[in-house]
Amino acid sequence: MLDHGAAPPADDTVAPKPSALHALTRRKPVESLVNEGGQGEGGSLRRSLSMGQLTMISIGATLGTGIFVVLGEAVPKAGPAVTVAFVLAGLTALFSALSYAELAGTIPVSGSSYSYAYATMGELIAWVCGWCLLLEYGVSVAAVAVGWGDYLNELLDGTIGVTLPASLSAPPGDGGVFNLPALIVVVLAMVFLLGGAKESARANAIMVFVKIVSLALFCAVGFMGFKSGNYADFLPLGRDSIGAAAAVLFFSYIGFDAASTAGEEAKDPKRDLPRAIMLSLVVVTALYVLVAAVAIGAWDWRKFEGTDATLAAIMNDVTGQSFWGTLLAAGAVVSIASVVLTVLYGQTRILFAMSRDGLVPKVFGKVHARTGSPRANTVIVSLFCGVLAAAVPLGELVNATSIGTLFAFSLVNVAVVVLRRTRRDMDRSFKVPLGPVFPVLGLLCCVYSMLSLDLITWKYFGGWMAVGLVVYFLYGMRRSRLVTTGPSVPAEPSTTPVSSAEK
């Protein structure tokens, strides 16, 4: 039985105007989502990504942010127990990753959790989820770009002895006028994306290799200065500090779901997407915990508070030489750029799906015939994120991305349970173990982490959501494709989107 859509009547009679409640809860059938997969205004996305490339996309979007940018903020909250906080944040992500894996293999489309919500909980919830994803991806791109500029200055200082002036390396309110490096890295990512998904994936794979080598180098050098006494008081700030740090560190797991945004460009999405999501999360969590453990062992946790506690600074302190820190800064410049590239990719694909559904302007759904990429979408999103990073002090808005992510993850966990009850007959290439147990645990973990965040972060998130609801009721609700044309469902519904010729 199909989900409720808003298909036009079969005859020439005028369809009755749907009630307001129906307009908010109308759902898009799974078959319709899959049938429309890849199709955009003037062209279609191309299936060119292998499982290895999908895994690298998720690793590229995730690995780097938590270690190169957020570690210095989390350690003062939990002390040596930050390693446990990383594990807790990873478990929170794991339960949700299982849900993502099931839905990505069942509904392999570009919209990720936005599309999953559309098929299970209705258009309004889908819009809220999509709006959260805009916050998650857009602001995180800007925040990571700012962090890239910091490491670029370290690299310049260590190699040629100069740094960019504060006026050109920080936004207004943070001691500068315009953050030029942040804009540059976003524009560079845009150039790669305009070349197409396959070309971007190749560049990302190289950058991911560089970041893994860089972190392995840090661990090798960090062990030279490891002091077991730094772990003598493992919980100096109490047990509650672990939850507070884990909520902040969840920002570092933003991105493992990036592979799910490539559902319409994967060669074999039903098989490869679940594997890529799970494998990337395991690799990232293991590296995070290892690097955090070495960092605390090499540096007393109290040094992280009120200082520029980067991995490069730790290496310089341990070795007494600037060479190692400069080398790591070079690796960070490359690796953080891959986060910008892959997260920006995810943002454009989510907007592509929302545009196809009529909830955002059609320009975001136009596909370039030669490259098979949404070119106008990529340029608009890149310039927006670049200016946001360069000219706007992000402040608490960065923490608000954690709430947006956790909220989207919560909806994915709920969507698994709903789809299991309403569409038991669907072909699922991967199923979350233990039925509803893990999705419910994922939901509870997300809610717990959300409640651990500060009140000011909730206020920023509430303001963002209020703006989103205004946009939906003034634009999206009336222009929804379910209103203008109705859902497109094949005569014989199928959830297999790839033919042998496409593989």
Q: What is the pLDDT of residue 378?
A: 92
**29 contacts 5 by C-beta, under 8 angstroms:** yes
Label residue 306 left, alpha or beta by phi (over 0 means left) and psi (-120 to 50 means alpha). left
Encode pLDDT of 449-459 as tens digits: 788 777 888 88
Asked whether residue 173 is domain-assigned, the answer is yes
For residue 366, the SS3 value is strand
CB within 8 Å of 348: residues ≥ 6 apart: 193, 364, 374, 377, 378, 381
Asked whether residue 414 is domain-assigned, the answer is yes
The encoded tokens of residue 78 equal 């939990």
Q: What is the CATH number of the domain that holds 50?
A: 1.20.1740.10
CA distances from 363 to 135, 367, 501 (A): 20, 9, 30
**66 contacts 86 by C-beta, under 8 angstroms:** yes
Reply yes or no on whether the pLDDT at 16 is more than 50. Answer: no
Average pLDDT in the 118-146 region? 87
Q: Where are the alpha helices (DSSP H) in 70-196?
A: 71-78, 82-106, 113-120, 123-159, 180-194
CA angle 155, 156, 157 (to 5 degrees): 90
**86 contacts 354 by C-beta, under 8 angstroms:** no
Strand partners, 366: 41
The total number of structural domains in the chain stands at 1
Q: What is the pLDDT of residue 112?
A: 84
Greatest Cα pair distance in the chain: 82
Q: Measure the CA–CA gap between 333 and 3, rounded to whole angstroms.
A: 47
Residues of the chain with pLDDT > 70: what percent?
A: 87
Report DSSP state, residue 109.
-
Average pLDDT in the 465-494 region? 74
Of 269, 202, 285, 338, the C-alpha closest to 497 is 269
Q: What is the pLDDT of residue 75?
A: 84
At 412, is the pLDDT very low, low, confident or very high (cuts 50, 70, 90)? very high
The shares of helix, strand and coil residues in the chain, as percent rounded to the nearest 5, are 70, 0, 30
Asked whether residue 267 is domain-assigned, the answer is yes
277 vs 15, residue with greater confidence: 277
| HSE-CB for 62 with a 13 A CA cutoff | 33
Q: What is the pLDDT of residue 488?
A: 53
CA distances from 416 to 104, 146, 277 (A): 11, 36, 16
Q: Measure the CA–CA gap between 450 and 469, rounded to whole angstroms.
A: 20
Encode pLDDT of 293-312 as tens digits: 988 888 888 887 755 666 77
- Predicted TM-score (pTM) of the model is 0.82
The encoded tokens of residue 139 equal 């602001």
Of 125, 120, 57, the C-alpha closest to 416 is 120
Q: Dihedral through CA 337, CA 343, CA 347, CA 348, nearest 10?
A: 50
Of 112, 50, 125, 116, the C-alpha closest to 426 is 116
Q: Measure the CA–CA gap between 275 and 288, rounded to whole angstroms.
A: 20
Residues of the chain with pLDDT > 90: what percent?
A: 12
Asked whether residue 398 is domain-assigned, the answer is yes
Encode pLDDT of 70-105 as tens digits: 777 788 888 899 899 888 888 878 888 899 998 988
Residue type, 384: F
Report DSSP state, residue 68.
I
13 vs 389, residue with greater confidence: 389
Asked whether residue 501 is domain-assigned, the answer is no
Average pLDDT in the 452-470 region? 86
Strand partners, 40: 43
Average pLDDT in the 362-375 region? 85
304 vs 486, residue with greater confidence: 304
Lowest-confidence segment of 118-122, 171-175, 442-446, 483-487 by average pLDDT: 483-487
- Measured between its terminal Cα atoms, the distance across the chain in Å is 30
Q: What is the pLDDT of residue 396?
A: 64
Asked whether residue 374 is domain-assigned, the answer is yes
At 68, is the pLDDT very low, low, confident or very high (cuts 50, 70, 90)? low
Asked whether residue 121 is domain-assigned, the answer is yes
Asked whether residue 18 is domain-assigned, the answer is no
Reply yes or no on whether the pLDDT at 499 is more than 50. Answer: no
At 138, is the pLDDT very low, low, confident or very high (cuts 50, 70, 90)? confident
The encoded tokens of residue 138 equal 């857009």
Residue type, 248: V
Q: Measure the CA–CA gap between 443 and 198, rounded to whole angstroms.
A: 34
Of 17, 34, 1, the C-alpha closest to 9 is 17
Average pLDDT over all residues of the chain:
80
Q: Where are the alpha helices (DSSP H) in 299-396?
A: 311-319, 322-356, 375-391
Encode pLDDT of 146-192 as tens digits: 878 777 887 887 788 888 887 777 777 777 788 888 899 999 999 99
Encode pLDDT of 276-285 as tens digits: 999 998 898 8
Reply yes or no on whether the pLDDT at 500 is more than 50. Answer: no
Which of 240-244, 426-430, 440-444 is predicted most confidently? 440-444
Encode pLDDT of 190-223 as tens digits: 999 998 888 888 889 999 998 888 888 888 888 8
Domain span at residue 141 reads 43-484
